[in-house]
Amino acid sequence: MKLKVNLYTILKKYGKGKIGADRSVDLPDTTRVSDLLAFLAIPEKMGKIILVNGLPKGKEHGLTEGDEVKILSFIGGG
């Protein structure tokens, strides 16, 4: 199944060589958010927000053909 994946800020480096120029990835039909994170090798303990089709979702959420996944990291500052 094809998904659109957008990585932001420091997470962009995890998509290099894995996400196509059109922001797509092709993964098995049974893929969950946690599987996508593992495919991208984003560290488990890195703080992140996951949006699927604009709505916040947990790691066990099942993905479907054509979903758009946005992964953002927490940013601190002062």
DSSP state of 78: -
| Tens digits of residue pLDDT in 12-71 | 999 999 999 999 999 999 999 999 999 999 998 888 999 999 999 999 999 999 999 999
What's domain 2-73's architecture? Roll (3.10)
Amino acid 51: pLDDT: 98
What torsion do the CA atoms of 52, 6, 75, 46 make, to the nearest 10 degrees? Answer: 80
pLDDT at residue 20, as a whole number: 93
Tell me if the pTM is above 0.85.
yes
DSSP string, 21-74: TTSEEE--TT-BHHHHHHHHT--TTS-EEEEETTEE--TTPBP-TT-EEEEEE-
Residue with tokens 């703080």, as numbered in its chain: 47
